[in-house]
Chains A and B, each alone.
Chain A
Amino acid sequence: MVKLLGAMLQGSLVSLEIFFLTLVFALPLALPVALGRMSASRLLRVPVNLYILVMRGTPLILQILFVYFAPYYLFEASYDRFTAVIVAFTINYAAYFAEIYRGGIQSIAKGQYEAAKVLGFTRADTFFRIVLPQVVKRILPASANEVITLVKDTALAQTIGVAELFRVAQNASARQFSTTPIFVAGVFYFVMNWAVSELFLRAERKLEYYS
Protein backbone atom coordinates (compact mmCIF):
# COMPACT_ATOMS: atom_id res chain seq x y z
CA MET A 1 0.00 0.00 0.00
CA VAL A 2 2.79 2.41 0.89
CA LYS A 3 4.52 1.49 -2.33
CA LEU A 4 1.33 2.12 -4.28
CA LEU A 5 0.83 5.56 -2.72
CA GLY A 6 4.47 6.41 -3.45
CA ALA A 7 4.00 5.50 -7.12
CA MET A 8 0.78 7.45 -7.29
CA LEU A 9 2.42 10.52 -5.78
CA GLN A 10 5.06 10.23 -8.49
CA GLY A 11 2.29 10.05 -11.08
CA SER A 12 0.60 13.07 -9.53
CA LEU A 13 3.81 15.05 -9.88
CA VAL A 14 3.80 14.33 -13.62
CA SER A 15 0.12 15.37 -13.81
CA LEU A 16 0.87 18.55 -11.91
CA GLU A 17 3.80 19.29 -14.20
CA ILE A 18 1.54 18.99 -17.25
CA PHE A 19 -1.04 21.13 -15.48
CA PHE A 20 1.29 23.99 -14.54
CA LEU A 21 3.27 24.03 -17.77
CA THR A 22 0.05 24.12 -19.79
CA LEU A 23 -1.19 27.11 -17.77
CA VAL A 24 2.16 28.89 -18.00
CA PHE A 25 2.11 28.69 -21.80
CA ALA A 26 -1.61 28.71 -22.62
CA LEU A 27 -2.75 31.62 -20.44
CA PRO A 28 -0.48 34.22 -22.10
CA LEU A 29 -0.77 32.67 -25.57
CA ALA A 30 -4.55 32.99 -25.40
CA LEU A 31 -4.33 36.79 -25.30
CA PRO A 32 -2.92 37.34 -28.80
CA VAL A 33 -5.27 34.60 -30.03
CA ALA A 34 -8.27 36.46 -28.57
CA LEU A 35 -7.07 39.75 -30.08
CA GLY A 36 -6.53 38.04 -33.45
CA ARG A 37 -10.04 36.61 -33.28
CA MET A 38 -11.38 40.16 -32.80
CA SER A 39 -9.05 41.76 -35.33
CA ALA A 40 -10.49 43.96 -38.05
CA SER A 41 -8.12 42.32 -40.53
CA ARG A 42 -9.56 39.26 -42.28
CA LEU A 43 -6.03 38.03 -42.89
CA LEU A 44 -5.62 37.59 -39.16
CA ARG A 45 -9.17 36.77 -38.16
CA VAL A 46 -9.82 33.92 -40.59
CA PRO A 47 -6.84 31.72 -39.69
CA VAL A 48 -7.34 32.35 -35.97
CA ASN A 49 -10.99 31.40 -36.35
CA LEU A 50 -10.00 28.22 -38.14
CA TYR A 51 -7.50 27.36 -35.41
CA ILE A 52 -10.11 27.78 -32.68
CA LEU A 53 -12.62 25.79 -34.70
CA VAL A 54 -10.23 22.85 -35.07
CA MET A 55 -9.04 22.93 -31.45
CA ARG A 56 -12.55 22.97 -30.06
CA GLY A 57 -14.00 20.75 -32.75
CA THR A 58 -11.75 17.71 -32.44
CA PRO A 59 -10.95 15.49 -29.44
CA LEU A 60 -7.95 16.49 -27.36
CA ILE A 61 -6.84 12.85 -27.39
CA LEU A 62 -6.59 12.98 -31.17
CA GLN A 63 -4.69 16.26 -31.02
CA ILE A 64 -2.17 14.68 -28.65
CA LEU A 65 -1.67 11.77 -31.05
CA PHE A 66 -1.36 14.13 -34.00
CA VAL A 67 1.18 16.41 -32.32
CA TYR A 68 3.31 13.43 -31.33
CA PHE A 69 3.10 11.30 -34.46
CA ALA A 70 2.75 13.85 -37.26
CA PRO A 71 6.45 14.90 -37.17
CA TYR A 72 7.38 11.22 -37.20
CA TYR A 73 5.34 10.40 -40.29
CA LEU A 74 6.20 13.62 -42.09
CA PHE A 75 9.93 13.93 -41.37
CA GLU A 76 10.71 10.67 -39.60
CA ALA A 77 11.71 12.81 -36.65
CA SER A 78 10.67 11.69 -33.21
CA TYR A 79 10.82 13.75 -30.07
CA ASP A 80 10.15 13.65 -26.38
CA ARG A 81 6.64 12.45 -25.45
CA PHE A 82 6.33 14.83 -22.56
CA THR A 83 7.13 17.81 -24.81
CA ALA A 84 4.47 16.63 -27.25
CA VAL A 85 1.93 16.50 -24.44
CA ILE A 86 2.74 20.06 -23.35
CA VAL A 87 2.51 21.35 -26.93
CA ALA A 88 -0.84 19.63 -27.53
CA PHE A 89 -2.34 20.79 -24.23
CA THR A 90 -1.07 24.33 -24.71
CA ILE A 91 -2.51 24.86 -28.18
CA ASN A 92 -5.78 23.23 -27.16
CA TYR A 93 -6.25 25.19 -23.96
CA ALA A 94 -5.11 28.49 -25.49
CA ALA A 95 -8.07 28.23 -27.88
CA TYR A 96 -10.55 27.81 -25.03
CA PHE A 97 -8.98 30.53 -22.89
CA ALA A 98 -8.92 32.85 -25.90
CA GLU A 99 -12.68 32.57 -26.24
CA ILE A 100 -13.11 33.27 -22.54
CA TYR A 101 -10.87 36.35 -22.87
CA ARG A 102 -12.82 37.50 -25.90
CA GLY A 103 -16.08 37.26 -24.00
CA GLY A 104 -14.56 39.28 -21.17
CA ILE A 105 -13.02 41.92 -23.40
CA GLN A 106 -16.21 42.38 -25.38
CA SER A 107 -18.25 42.76 -22.20
CA ILE A 108 -16.38 45.94 -21.24
CA ALA A 109 -18.60 48.94 -21.97
CA LYS A 110 -17.68 51.17 -24.90
CA GLY A 111 -17.76 54.12 -22.52
CA GLN A 112 -14.61 52.85 -20.79
CA TYR A 113 -12.68 53.09 -24.06
CA GLU A 114 -14.20 56.49 -24.82
CA ALA A 115 -13.33 57.89 -21.40
CA ALA A 116 -9.78 56.56 -21.76
CA LYS A 117 -9.46 58.07 -25.23
CA VAL A 118 -10.73 61.48 -24.16
CA LEU A 119 -8.29 61.46 -21.23
CA GLY A 120 -5.45 60.84 -23.67
CA PHE A 121 -4.44 57.32 -22.63
CA THR A 122 -2.45 55.43 -25.24
CA ARG A 123 -4.03 52.31 -26.69
CA ALA A 124 -1.63 50.11 -24.70
CA ASP A 125 -2.41 51.91 -21.42
CA THR A 126 -6.13 51.72 -22.17
CA PHE A 127 -5.93 47.98 -22.69
CA PHE A 128 -3.53 46.98 -19.94
CA ARG A 129 -4.52 49.44 -17.22
CA ILE A 130 -8.20 50.00 -17.79
CA VAL A 131 -9.69 47.13 -19.78
CA LEU A 132 -7.67 44.06 -18.79
CA PRO A 133 -7.98 44.39 -14.98
CA GLN A 134 -11.76 44.54 -15.38
CA VAL A 135 -11.68 41.58 -17.77
CA VAL A 136 -9.80 39.47 -15.21
CA LYS A 137 -12.56 39.93 -12.67
CA ARG A 138 -15.26 38.99 -15.16
CA ILE A 139 -13.60 35.87 -16.54
CA LEU A 140 -12.63 34.27 -13.23
CA PRO A 141 -15.67 31.95 -12.94
CA ALA A 142 -15.42 30.74 -16.55
CA SER A 143 -11.66 30.28 -16.22
CA ALA A 144 -12.12 28.21 -13.06
CA ASN A 145 -14.22 25.78 -15.12
CA GLU A 146 -11.51 25.47 -17.71
CA VAL A 147 -8.69 25.04 -15.20
CA ILE A 148 -10.62 22.33 -13.35
CA THR A 149 -11.20 20.51 -16.63
CA LEU A 150 -7.48 20.74 -17.30
CA VAL A 151 -6.66 18.92 -14.05
CA LYS A 152 -8.80 16.00 -15.20
CA ASP A 153 -7.66 16.18 -18.84
CA THR A 154 -4.05 15.55 -17.81
CA ALA A 155 -5.12 11.87 -17.69
CA LEU A 156 -5.10 11.93 -21.51
CA ALA A 157 -1.30 12.25 -21.52
CA GLN A 158 -1.11 8.48 -21.11
CA THR A 159 -2.34 8.15 -24.72
CA ILE A 160 1.25 8.52 -25.88
CA GLY A 161 2.69 6.74 -22.87
CA VAL A 162 3.40 9.49 -20.38
CA ALA A 163 3.07 7.95 -16.93
CA GLU A 164 0.80 10.41 -15.20
CA LEU A 165 -1.45 9.69 -12.26
CA PHE A 166 -4.22 7.80 -14.00
CA ARG A 167 -1.84 5.58 -15.95
CA VAL A 168 -0.02 4.66 -12.73
CA ALA A 169 -3.34 3.86 -11.07
CA GLN A 170 -4.50 1.72 -13.98
CA ASN A 171 -1.24 -0.23 -13.98
CA ALA A 172 -1.49 -0.86 -10.26
CA SER A 173 -5.09 -1.84 -10.67
CA ALA A 174 -4.18 -4.44 -13.31
CA ARG A 175 -1.38 -5.82 -11.17
CA GLN A 176 -3.50 -6.17 -8.06
CA PHE A 177 -6.76 -7.29 -9.74
CA SER A 178 -8.41 -4.48 -7.77
CA THR A 179 -10.17 -1.22 -8.64
CA THR A 180 -8.96 0.44 -5.44
CA PRO A 181 -6.00 2.30 -7.02
CA ILE A 182 -8.34 3.90 -9.55
CA PHE A 183 -10.60 5.20 -6.81
CA VAL A 184 -7.59 6.45 -4.91
CA ALA A 185 -6.61 8.35 -8.09
CA GLY A 186 -10.11 9.82 -8.09
CA VAL A 187 -9.49 11.18 -4.61
CA PHE A 188 -6.19 12.69 -5.80
CA TYR A 189 -7.93 14.54 -8.66
CA PHE A 190 -10.66 15.68 -6.31
CA VAL A 191 -8.18 17.12 -3.83
CA MET A 192 -6.30 18.97 -6.58
CA ASN A 193 -9.50 20.47 -7.90
CA TRP A 194 -10.66 21.38 -4.46
CA ALA A 195 -7.46 23.43 -4.15
CA VAL A 196 -8.08 25.00 -7.58
CA SER A 197 -11.65 25.95 -6.63
CA GLU A 198 -10.46 27.43 -3.37
CA LEU A 199 -7.82 29.53 -5.14
CA PHE A 200 -10.35 30.88 -7.61
CA LEU A 201 -12.81 31.68 -4.84
CA ARG A 202 -10.11 33.61 -3.03
CA ALA A 203 -9.20 35.52 -6.17
CA GLU A 204 -12.86 36.39 -6.72
CA ARG A 205 -13.16 37.58 -3.14
CA LYS A 206 -10.05 39.69 -3.56
CA LEU A 207 -11.65 41.49 -6.49
CA GLU A 208 -14.97 41.97 -4.75
CA TYR A 209 -13.99 45.48 -3.66
CA TYR A 210 -15.57 46.95 -6.78
CA SER A 211 -18.44 46.19 -9.10
Chain B
Amino acid sequence: MNNENIIEVENLVKKFGDFTANDNLCFEVRKSEIFGFLGANGAGKTTAIKILCGLLFPTSGKVMVAGYDVYKERNKIRKNIGYMSQGFSLYEDLTVKENIEFYAGIYGLKRTEIKTRFDDLVSKLGIEELKDKFVSDLPLGWKQKIAFSVAIFHKPQIVFLDEPTSGVDPITRRQFWDLIYEAVESGITVFVTTHYLDEAEYCDRVCIMAEGRIDAIGSPDELKSKYKSENMDEVFVKIARGTNKMNNK
Protein backbone atom coordinates (compact mmCIF):
# COMPACT_ATOMS: atom_id res chain seq x y z
CA MET B 1 0.00 0.00 0.00
CA ASN B 2 2.96 2.35 0.35
CA ASN B 3 2.94 2.82 -3.37
CA GLU B 4 -0.52 4.28 -3.48
CA ASN B 5 -0.32 7.44 -5.56
CA ILE B 6 -2.66 10.32 -4.85
CA ILE B 7 -1.35 12.51 -7.67
CA GLU B 8 -0.17 11.17 -11.01
CA VAL B 9 1.25 13.46 -13.67
CA GLU B 10 2.43 12.21 -17.07
CA ASN B 11 3.93 14.43 -19.77
CA LEU B 12 2.27 17.57 -18.48
CA VAL B 13 2.85 20.52 -20.80
CA LYS B 14 1.56 24.05 -20.23
CA LYS B 15 2.19 26.78 -22.75
CA PHE B 16 1.28 30.46 -22.58
CA GLY B 17 1.59 31.47 -26.21
CA ASP B 18 5.19 30.73 -27.19
CA PHE B 19 6.35 30.42 -23.61
CA THR B 20 6.50 26.92 -22.16
CA ALA B 21 5.88 27.17 -18.42
CA ASN B 22 5.75 23.42 -17.79
CA ASP B 23 7.78 21.25 -20.13
CA ASN B 24 6.83 17.59 -20.08
CA LEU B 25 6.53 17.04 -16.33
CA CYS B 26 6.26 13.50 -15.00
CA PHE B 27 5.92 12.72 -11.31
CA GLU B 28 3.66 11.18 -8.73
CA VAL B 29 2.85 12.01 -5.13
CA ARG B 30 2.21 9.25 -2.63
CA LYS B 31 -0.50 9.28 -0.05
CA SER B 32 0.32 11.03 3.24
CA GLU B 33 3.72 12.28 2.23
CA ILE B 34 5.10 15.80 2.17
CA PHE B 35 6.02 16.47 -1.41
CA GLY B 36 8.17 19.52 -2.05
CA PHE B 37 8.39 21.45 -5.28
CA LEU B 38 11.67 23.36 -5.37
CA GLY B 39 12.92 25.89 -7.82
CA ALA B 40 13.84 29.48 -8.44
CA ASN B 41 11.19 32.09 -9.12
CA GLY B 42 9.76 31.55 -12.57
CA ALA B 43 10.70 27.86 -12.69
CA GLY B 44 7.06 26.92 -13.25
CA LYS B 45 6.09 25.80 -9.74
CA THR B 46 3.02 27.99 -9.40
CA THR B 47 1.79 27.06 -12.87
CA ALA B 48 2.04 23.36 -12.00
CA ILE B 49 0.23 23.80 -8.69
CA LYS B 50 -2.56 25.79 -10.36
CA ILE B 51 -3.07 23.01 -12.89
CA LEU B 52 -3.27 20.43 -10.12
CA CYS B 53 -5.86 22.60 -8.31
CA GLY B 54 -8.00 23.02 -11.40
CA LEU B 55 -7.32 26.75 -11.76
CA LEU B 56 -5.55 26.35 -15.11
CA PHE B 57 -6.11 23.97 -18.00
CA PRO B 58 -3.06 21.93 -19.02
CA THR B 59 -2.04 22.23 -22.68
CA SER B 60 -1.47 18.48 -22.85
CA GLY B 61 -0.57 15.49 -20.70
CA LYS B 62 -2.35 13.32 -18.20
CA VAL B 63 -3.06 14.69 -14.72
CA MET B 64 -4.91 12.73 -12.05
CA VAL B 65 -5.57 14.23 -8.60
CA ALA B 66 -7.17 12.15 -5.83
CA GLY B 67 -8.15 9.67 -8.52
CA TYR B 68 -9.92 12.25 -10.71
CA ASP B 69 -9.05 13.66 -14.09
CA VAL B 70 -8.31 17.43 -14.19
CA TYR B 71 -9.89 17.71 -17.63
CA LYS B 72 -13.25 16.28 -16.76
CA GLU B 73 -13.70 15.93 -13.03
CA ARG B 74 -12.50 19.21 -11.61
CA ASN B 75 -15.46 19.57 -9.31
CA LYS B 76 -14.75 16.21 -7.69
CA ILE B 77 -11.14 17.25 -7.28
CA ARG B 78 -12.20 20.53 -5.67
CA LYS B 79 -14.12 18.70 -2.95
CA ASN B 80 -10.98 16.77 -2.03
CA ILE B 81 -8.33 19.44 -1.98
CA GLY B 82 -7.34 22.48 -0.01
CA TYR B 83 -5.30 25.35 -1.41
CA MET B 84 -3.27 28.13 0.10
CA SER B 85 -1.94 30.63 -2.40
CA GLN B 86 1.07 32.91 -2.12
CA GLY B 87 -1.13 35.78 -1.01
CA PHE B 88 -3.00 33.73 1.65
CA SER B 89 -6.41 34.73 0.40
CA LEU B 90 -8.35 35.56 3.52
CA TYR B 91 -10.84 38.42 3.49
CA GLU B 92 -9.12 41.27 5.27
CA ASP B 93 -12.39 42.95 6.21
CA LEU B 94 -13.83 39.84 7.85
CA THR B 95 -12.82 38.49 11.23
CA VAL B 96 -10.94 35.22 11.64
CA LYS B 97 -14.14 33.52 12.69
CA GLU B 98 -16.16 34.93 9.80
CA ASN B 99 -13.50 33.84 7.30
CA ILE B 100 -13.51 30.30 8.61
CA GLU B 101 -17.31 30.13 8.76
CA PHE B 102 -17.52 31.42 5.20
CA TYR B 103 -15.08 28.96 3.62
CA ALA B 104 -16.32 26.04 5.71
CA GLY B 105 -19.88 26.91 4.66
CA ILE B 106 -18.91 26.91 1.00
CA TYR B 107 -17.45 23.43 1.40
CA GLY B 108 -20.84 22.38 2.72
CA LEU B 109 -19.93 21.69 6.34
CA LYS B 110 -22.85 21.60 8.75
CA ARG B 111 -23.20 24.46 11.20
CA THR B 112 -22.66 22.26 14.27
CA GLU B 113 -19.65 20.64 12.63
CA ILE B 114 -18.18 24.07 11.90
CA LYS B 115 -18.67 25.11 15.51
CA THR B 116 -16.96 22.02 16.97
CA ARG B 117 -14.01 22.20 14.59
CA PHE B 118 -13.68 25.92 15.12
CA ASP B 119 -13.60 25.57 18.91
CA ASP B 120 -10.94 22.86 18.54
CA LEU B 121 -8.90 25.10 16.29
CA VAL B 122 -9.14 28.06 18.66
CA SER B 123 -7.83 26.02 21.57
CA LYS B 124 -5.17 24.30 19.46
CA LEU B 125 -3.76 27.58 18.10
CA GLY B 126 -4.55 29.53 21.25
CA ILE B 127 -6.30 32.28 19.34
CA GLU B 128 -9.09 33.04 21.80
CA GLU B 129 -8.21 36.74 21.62
CA LEU B 130 -7.61 36.84 17.88
CA LYS B 131 -10.72 35.05 16.68
CA ASP B 132 -12.92 38.14 16.54
CA LYS B 133 -10.26 40.43 15.11
CA PHE B 134 -10.23 41.54 11.49
CA VAL B 135 -7.66 39.67 9.43
CA SER B 136 -6.20 43.01 8.35
CA ASP B 137 -5.16 43.61 11.97
CA LEU B 138 -3.23 40.33 12.31
CA PRO B 139 0.53 39.97 11.96
CA LEU B 140 1.73 38.15 8.85
CA GLY B 141 2.66 34.99 10.75
CA TRP B 142 -0.84 34.61 12.13
CA LYS B 143 -2.45 35.31 8.76
CA GLN B 144 -0.36 32.45 7.39
CA LYS B 145 -1.26 29.97 10.09
CA ILE B 146 -4.92 30.84 9.82
CA ALA B 147 -4.89 30.64 6.03
CA PHE B 148 -3.41 27.17 6.38
CA SER B 149 -6.04 26.20 8.95
CA VAL B 150 -8.74 27.41 6.55
CA ALA B 151 -7.21 25.36 3.72
CA ILE B 152 -7.45 22.12 5.75
CA PHE B 153 -10.61 22.96 7.72
CA HIS B 154 -12.80 20.74 5.53
CA LYS B 155 -10.33 17.84 5.95
CA PRO B 156 -9.25 17.46 2.34
CA GLN B 157 -7.17 14.53 1.09
CA ILE B 158 -4.49 16.83 -0.26
CA VAL B 159 -3.50 20.37 0.58
CA PHE B 160 -1.56 22.49 -1.90
CA LEU B 161 0.65 25.19 -0.40
CA ASP B 162 2.18 27.69 -2.79
CA GLU B 163 5.20 29.30 -1.10
CA PRO B 164 3.40 29.43 2.22
CA THR B 165 6.35 30.68 4.25
CA SER B 166 7.68 33.48 2.11
CA GLY B 167 8.41 36.64 4.04
CA VAL B 168 8.29 35.42 7.65
CA ASP B 169 10.94 34.91 10.30
CA PRO B 170 12.56 31.51 10.95
CA ILE B 171 10.69 30.90 14.20
CA THR B 172 7.31 31.43 12.59
CA ARG B 173 8.39 29.21 9.73
CA ARG B 174 9.28 26.46 12.21
CA GLN B 175 5.86 26.81 13.88
CA PHE B 176 4.22 26.68 10.50
CA TRP B 177 5.99 23.41 9.69
CA ASP B 178 4.76 21.97 12.97
CA LEU B 179 1.24 22.60 11.69
CA ILE B 180 2.12 20.84 8.44
CA TYR B 181 3.43 17.77 10.30
CA GLU B 182 0.26 17.68 12.34
CA ALA B 183 -1.83 17.73 9.17
CA VAL B 184 0.21 14.88 7.69
CA GLU B 185 -0.34 12.85 10.82
CA SER B 186 -4.07 13.22 10.42
CA GLY B 187 -3.69 11.68 6.95
CA ILE B 188 -3.52 14.73 4.71
CA THR B 189 -1.05 14.70 1.83
CA VAL B 190 0.93 17.93 1.59
CA PHE B 191 2.13 19.38 -1.69
CA VAL B 192 4.31 22.40 -1.02
CA THR B 193 6.33 24.73 -3.20
CA THR B 194 9.20 26.70 -1.75
CA HIS B 195 12.43 28.37 -2.61
CA TYR B 196 13.84 27.95 0.91
CA LEU B 197 16.22 25.05 0.57
CA ASP B 198 16.33 24.29 4.29
CA GLU B 199 12.62 23.54 4.03
CA ALA B 200 13.41 20.89 1.45
CA GLU B 201 14.91 18.85 4.28
CA TYR B 202 11.48 18.69 5.94
CA CYS B 203 9.94 17.02 2.90
CA ASP B 204 9.65 13.27 2.32
CA ARG B 205 10.44 13.72 -1.33
CA VAL B 206 11.36 16.73 -3.38
CA CYS B 207 11.30 17.62 -7.00
CA ILE B 208 13.67 20.28 -8.31
CA MET B 209 12.43 22.40 -11.16
CA ALA B 210 14.28 24.79 -13.43
CA GLU B 211 13.02 26.54 -16.54
CA GLY B 212 9.83 24.54 -16.62
CA ARG B 213 11.52 21.14 -16.46
CA ILE B 214 12.05 18.65 -13.63
CA ASP B 215 15.80 18.21 -13.10
CA ALA B 216 15.79 15.85 -10.18
CA ILE B 217 13.32 13.98 -8.02
CA GLY B 218 13.76 11.86 -4.89
CA SER B 219 14.06 12.00 -1.12
CA PRO B 220 16.48 14.59 0.27
CA ASP B 221 18.89 11.82 1.30
CA GLU B 222 18.79 10.18 -2.12
CA LEU B 223 19.51 13.49 -3.82
CA LYS B 224 22.32 14.34 -1.44
CA SER B 225 24.11 11.05 -2.08
CA LYS B 226 23.45 11.20 -5.80
CA TYR B 227 24.98 14.66 -6.10
CA LYS B 228 27.58 13.99 -3.38
CA SER B 229 26.47 16.97 -1.33
CA GLU B 230 26.29 17.82 2.35
CA ASN B 231 22.93 19.57 2.15
CA MET B 232 20.14 20.52 -0.22
CA ASP B 233 21.78 23.87 -0.89
CA GLU B 234 24.69 22.14 -2.57
CA VAL B 235 22.41 19.78 -4.45
CA PHE B 236 20.55 22.74 -5.81
CA VAL B 237 23.68 24.62 -6.85
CA LYS B 238 25.10 21.54 -8.61
CA ILE B 239 21.89 20.98 -10.48
CA ALA B 240 21.67 24.64 -11.42
CA ARG B 241 25.25 24.57 -12.77
CA GLY B 242 24.42 21.50 -14.79
CA THR B 243 21.52 23.30 -16.35
CA ASN B 244 23.69 26.27 -17.18
CA LYS B 245 26.34 24.07 -18.80
CA MET B 246 23.69 22.52 -20.97
CA ASN B 247 22.48 25.92 -21.98
CA ASN B 248 25.98 27.09 -22.83
CA LYS B 249 26.68 24.22 -25.20
Is this pair of chains taken from one and the same complex? no
B residues lining the A interface (CB < 8 Å):
none
User: B-contacting residues of A (Cβ < 8 Å)?
Assistant: none
